[in-house]
Structure 1
Amino acid sequence: MRRYVLTGAPGAGKTSILRLLEATGHSTVGEAATAVIASGQARGEAEPWTRASFIDDVVALQRRRQTQAVAAATTVQIYDRSPICTHALGVYLGYPVSSALSAEIDRITRERIYERQVFFVRNLGFCEPTAARRISFEDSLKFERVHEESYRAFGYELIDIPVGAPADRMAAVRSTISRPAR
């Protein structure tokens, strides 16, 4: 199983690319942090990311989704973010690396869960706020740099997905995932 990750700044277009990949028959796994935020907000929490257990909740959902996705009969999967993104999120928010996050990063490294090539989706030059995404464009650029630093620190190779039409960005991802495994 080859598992690829899409990462980048909030609002960069990762989910749009993921949806296009899914529409063309690829196996995809959605972003966990947004789901954890939406769930918390549905329960009346205005800012779930301020909860002490937030990072661990994201890690748990990422692991659950990854292990459930293994059952899918496919050779390639594309993930909207990974535990390395959760590491970047924790660093950005100023949280210490929890034992759950550390253990999950150890597991994905030891088991080689994700391909070492990660698709870094570049920002679009703006960041539209949503209920789950309350970040200015300037702060999203800082967050983008933290993502780059986290992935590089853990030894991943970033494949740049430049600004462009969603279909062109999806085609750039497809050209890499369609190559034979190294």
Structure 2
Amino acid sequence: MRRFILTGAPGAGKTTVARLLAEAGHTVIAEAATDLIETAQAAGEDAPWERGDFCEQIAALQRDRQLAANALAGPVQFFDRSPVCTLAMARFTEQPVGPVLSAELDRISADGIYDQRVLMLDLLGFITPTAVRRVDLAEARRFEQHHVEAYLQHGFTIERVPAADPATRAARITDLTAKAAHA
């Protein structure tokens, strides 16, 4: 089984493209951070990402979801973000890298969990603010650079997925990973 990471800055369209991949029958593992933020906000916490343990919670949920995904069928899985994205978030928000995130980064590296080619969706040139996404375009570009640096530091190669409509991007990702399905 091959596991591909979908990454990019907030507002790059990852989740929309991931949804299209899932609708096409691919196994897609949802983004942990967004789910944690939405749950916290529903409980009345406006900005859970400001908590010092937030990246630790993301890393733990990413680990749990990746391990649960081992039981899912299919030759290819797509993960909407990974622990390397969580490292980028920790650096961007100046949060500490705690023991859970550190251990998860070590585990995914030692065990070769993810394909070394990460699929980075380029920014679309605009940001649509949401309750979860509160960055402007300049901040998103800085956040994207933290992702690039973190992935390169951890030995990944970055396959850029240019800005386009979601269906075109989903087709590009399917083409880029098609050979992995037969490997």
Corresponding letter in the other structure for 2:98: S
Aligned residue in 1 for 2:5: 5
- For residue 83 of structure 1, what is the aligned residue in structure 2? 83
Match of 1:98 in 2: 98
The equivalences for 1:106-145 within 5 A come to 106-145=106-145
- Residue 173 of structure 1: aligned partner: 173
What pairs up with 1:43-58 in 2 under 5 angstroms?
Answer: 43-58=43-58
Secondary structure in structure 1 of the residue aligned to 2:120: strand
Match of 1:115, SS state, is coil
Q: CA deviation at 1:5?
A: 0.5
CA–CA distance in structure 1, aligned partners of residues 134 and 71 of structure 2: 34
Q: Deviations over 1:27-47 (max 9, x none)?
A: 000100011111111111111
What TM-score does the superposition give when structure 2 sets the normalisation length? 0.97
Is 1:28 equivalent to 2:28 in the alignment? yes
Structure 2: runs of 5+ lacking an equivalent = none
Match of 1:155 in 2: 155
Q: How many residues align?
A: 182
Tell me how far apart the structure 2 counterparts of residues 58 and 76 of structure 1 sit (CA, whole Å).
23
Show structure 1 runs of 4+ deviating over 3 A: none
- 1:164 is displaced (CA, Å) by 0.8
Percent identity, aligned pairs only? 44
Post-superposition CA distance 1:158-177 (Å, at most 9, x none): 00100111111111100121
The gaps in structure 1 that reach 5 residues or longer are none
Distance of 1:72 and 1:96 partners within structure 2: 33
Distance (whole Å) between structure 2 residues aligned to residue 127 and residue 149 of structure 1: 22
In 1, distance between residues paired with 2:105 and 2:11?
A: 24
| CA distance in 2: counterparts of 1:26 and 1:139, whole angstroms | 31
Say whether the 8 Å CA contact 2:52–2:96 is kept in structure 1.
Answer: no
Shift of 1:99: 1.3
Q: TM-score, normalised by structure 1?
A: 0.97
RMSD (Å), alpha carbons: 1.0
Q: Which amino acid aligns with 1:82?
A: S
Greater displacement, 84-93 / 33-42: 33-42
Determine the structure 2 residue equivalent to 1:64: 64
TM-superposed CA distance for 1:74, in Å, is 1.5
Q: For residues 95 and 44 of structure 1, what CA distance do their matches in structure 2 show?
A: 22
* Counterpart AA for 1:145: Q
